[in-house]
Structure 1
């Protein structure tokens, strides 16, 4: 037996998803006094770990993230605490944009043999 009626969900565009994630991030900062920067710092440290076998790919992904955040190339290697508040916010916005994009990736990707 199928449920008939209008759909309970509506597909969102990438822009709408990103705007929603940014809005939630702003609400968290405003009402719960939680910036999440400690988690971002841990993420950046993990991405910069030279012992990781995927270090070079991680560096490329991190460079793309900083580029998306419009942070100048000369500041990419700085420790997370050295970034300005505006750069931190731009980085979080860029991460939210990537989260929205990745959520729309196809489910079952395969590598041709």
Structure 2
């Protein structure tokens, strides 16, 4: 018997999605030794690229992520490699939280007249 597409879907709350994403990150680290440092260094580099036309907005977005991770403003200019283990974990949890809530954004947003 085949499993139909709609029957495979399960709606999760934002909190459940965050927990699941964090759980997957933990399992990935434990079982596969997956180290995301290279990807995080790339992310920091791209978001801090001063030649990007959205540099100021990108910088604000990164500050928002770091704020969500409870990383003090005095540490917002630090490179990923300079973050402590606890700060890295908090940052990944904050990014997973954003992933979960962004998935709840309306699909077709428009500007009001």
TM-score of the two chains, using structure 2 as the length reference: 0.90
1:110 aligns with 2:107: no
Q: CA RMSD in A?
A: 1.3
* 3-state DSSP of counterpart to 2:63: helix
Q: State the match for 1:3 in structure 2.
A: none
Match of 2:14 in 1: 14
Give the unaligned 5+ runs of structure 1.
Answer: 1-5
Runs of at least 5 residues in structure 2 that lack an aligned partner in the other structure: 1-5
Q: SS state of the match for residue 95, structure 2?
A: helix
Say whether 1:72 aligns with 2:41: no
Figure out how many residues of one structure are paired with residues of the other and give that number: 108
Runs of 4+ aligned structure 1 residues displaced above 2 Å come to 6-10
Write the deviation string for residues 46-85 of structure 1: whole angstroms up to 9, x where unpaired: 0000000000000110000000000010011011101001
Q: Give the structure with the higher percent helix.
A: 2
Q: TM-score, normalised by structure 1?
A: 0.90
